[in-house]
Structure 1
Amino acid sequence: MTAAPGTPAAFAAALRAREQLVGYWSVLDSPVSTERIARLGYDYVALDAQHGLIEYSGVLASLTAIDTKGSTAVGLVRVEANDPSPIGKALDAGAAGVIVPLIDTAQDAADAVAAVRYPPLGRRSYGPMRAGLRIGPDPADAHEQTVVLAMIETAEGLANVTGICATDGLDGVYIGPSDLRIAIGGATSTDPAVTAEFEAALVTVRQAAAAAGIAAGIHNADGASAAKRLAEGFTFATVSSDLVHLQQAAAAHLAAARATEDSR
């Protein structure tokens, strides 16, 4: 039986099949706005618990909001560290998967996988307080319905990407473009001086993932950039963030409102 669209099972199956998926990034502790975003047609909404402004209670509330009636998306969480505690808490709260930062080696990736999987496949502690209502709750079912993604964002991670992608149980890799650009020598997160090296790094990651048969994703500043990366061969792409779009929309409306005033 095929899982219903918008469910963790359907999302996990699509991601592992390397189908193209589009997501949205959330850094604000605003479950009401996150709920609206989850109804727009995105395949996932990723909550940023590393650099975002969301504490655990906010993650829990936003995951609940993402799962409300009419949602097309599942909730992912970028956890604060490659550690069993935040990974387990995000999954117990109902995340359909975790994005784990700063993966430098295949061992780092294996540790992330172990934190997501129950024994004997891993070392996740059993206690799906909210997740059990929607994911699993039996370990075998939870394994099928929950994904783990490793971030490639350091020079060491890039150098070891082939081994990382070959890690048993890893579902995909996810490029953090700002950190990766700095890691390869950029003076800033958008430094154009290292564009050639950056683009070559993206090809390296994408090809390593394809060779291993796992998903390859990347964060993007806007939808057009996401479309470009998907056309290049990435299998999932995330668009901007709620905070960035709030600022952009507010600035655009302010400029429009003052246009007549400025023309006097």
Structure 2
Amino acid sequence: MGEDRFRHAAKEGRTLLTGWLTCNSPFLVELIGEAGFDCITIDQQHGMGGNEALLSCLTAARASGLPAIVRVAENDPGLIGRALDAGAQAIMCPMIERVEDAEAFVKAVKYPPRGLRSWGPYRARLDYDGDYFTTANDFTVACPQIETRGALDRLDDILAMEGVDMVCLGPNDLSVALTGRLDIWASEVKDAMTLVLKKCRERSVMTLIFANDIEFAKPRLEEGWTIVAIGTDAGWFAKAAAEVRRAATISR
């Protein structure tokens, strides 16, 4: 995919909407693309399916013109390289705690001399404009998650790291880390969001945030995060199914 939609949006100050997949169905990728979303996030940490599901979703994303973010299950070079080779542009890594965690993650995403990514982009190079090896480090996106107290305490060092292109703020896990309860509206979470967005702008690092619902998302859209996710495919389906069932019950 020749267009670098993520960096173009950041440069222009536009916010992208990402469809967050947990069911990991290629048909849902196509429906999300038809609905007009800007990109797709394939969750392999809290989502369904393994490599076969990932490959199918990435194939559908390419056909739908959607750049893909893959959240890997853990900070593992094999999982990261496999997702990149299969066609993901961005890799999101959960539970970053230390600077060493972020450094290992970036090295897995980037080719030498910056990193240690192994050569073999069997799908990543399809329709790629230019020589993939020499330009991939500027195209791929390493996105550590800021969702632990450790990552928040070490935010300056993580953002200063060469190759950290984007960070994802995970308000659910971060609320637990900061308050001991699941409360994304807590003042501690709001302060963390403000800090992360400010620091990222100072460093020209792209930002992504997960919003549980539209009520939480609207202020984030107004704040100008680079990418906003609003719920998940499973959540959308469950809500729609409940609304249909409720409407059918009322009409009897």
Partner deviation per Cα, 1:177-224 (whole Å, 9 max, x = no partner) = 11001000232x2365xx111111111111111121111221012345
Provide Cα deviations, 1:22-70, integer angstroms capped at 9, x if missing partner.
21100113111221212322221000001111211000000100111xx
User: Does the alignment pair 1:62 with 2:53?
Assistant: no
Alignment match, 2:134 = 140
Instruction: State the match for 1:251 in structure 2.
Output: 242
Provide the residue aligned with 1:162 in structure 2: 156
The code of the aligned residue for 1:56 comes to N
CA drift of 1:77 comes to 0.3
Of 129-138 and 172-181, more deviation after overlay is shown by 129-138
Of stretches 42-51 and 97-106 in structure 1, the one that deviates more from structure 2 is: 97-106
Q: Give the counterpart of 1:53 among 48, 52, 55.
A: 48
The count of corresponding residues between Structure 1 and Structure 2 is: 250
Q: TM-score, normalised by structure 1?
A: 0.88
Separation in structure 2 between the aligned mates of residue 191 and residue 23 of structure 1, nearest angstrom = 19
* Aligned pairs for 1:151-190 within 5 A: 151-187=145-181, 189-190=182-183
* 2:103 is the counterpart of 1:110: yes
Tell me the amino acid that sits aligned with residue 63 of structure 1: L
Do the aligned partners of residues 143 and 124 (structure 1) sit closer, same or farther apart at CA in structure 2, a change above 3 Å counting? same
Cα distance change on mapping 1:57 and 1:140 into 2, 3 Å: same
> Which letter maps to 1:217?
L
Deviations 1:215-253 (A, max 9, x none): 122101234532320212422211211100110000000
Structure 1: how far apart are the matches of 2:102 and 2:150? Answer: 13
**Residues 112, 169 of structure 1: alpha-carbon distance in 2 compared, 3 angstrom cutoff:** same
Q: Return the alpha-carbon distance in structure 1 between the equivalents of residues 208 and 200 of structure 2.
A: 10
For residues 16-165 of structure 1, the aligned pairs below 5 Å read 17=11, 19-68=14-63, 71-135=64-128, 138-165=132-159
Structure 2 Cα separation of the partners of residues 42 and 110 of structure 1: 31
Partner of 2:197: 206
Q: Aligned pair in 2 of structure 1 residues 179, 8: CA closer, same or farther (>3 Å)?
A: farther
**2: distance between equivalents of 1:252 and 1:129?**
43
* Secondary structure of the corresponding residue to residue 3 of structure 2: helix
Q: Which residue of 1 aligns with 2:233?
A: 242
TM, length-normalised to structure 2: 0.92
Q: What CA deviation, in whole Å up to 9, does each residue of 1:140-179 have, x standing for no partner?
A: 2222221111100001111111111111111111011110
Secondary structure of 1:190's partner? coil
> Distance in 1 between the 2:10 and 2:216 partners?
23
RMSD: 1.8
Displacement after TM superposition at 1:102 (Å):
1.1
Instruction: Give the percent of matched residue pairs that are identical in Structure 1 and Structure 2.
Output: 34
Q: Quick one: distance in 1 between partners of 2:103 and 2:86?
A: 22
C-alpha distance in 2 between matches for 1:8 and 1:252: 40
Deviations 1:71-128 (A, max 9, x none): 3421110011112110000001100111111112332222211111111121000011
In structure 1, runs of 5+ residues without a counterpart are 1-6
Listed as ranges, the gaps of 5+ residues in structure 2 are none
Closer/same/farther in 2, CA of residues 98 and 137 from structure 1, 3 Å limit: farther
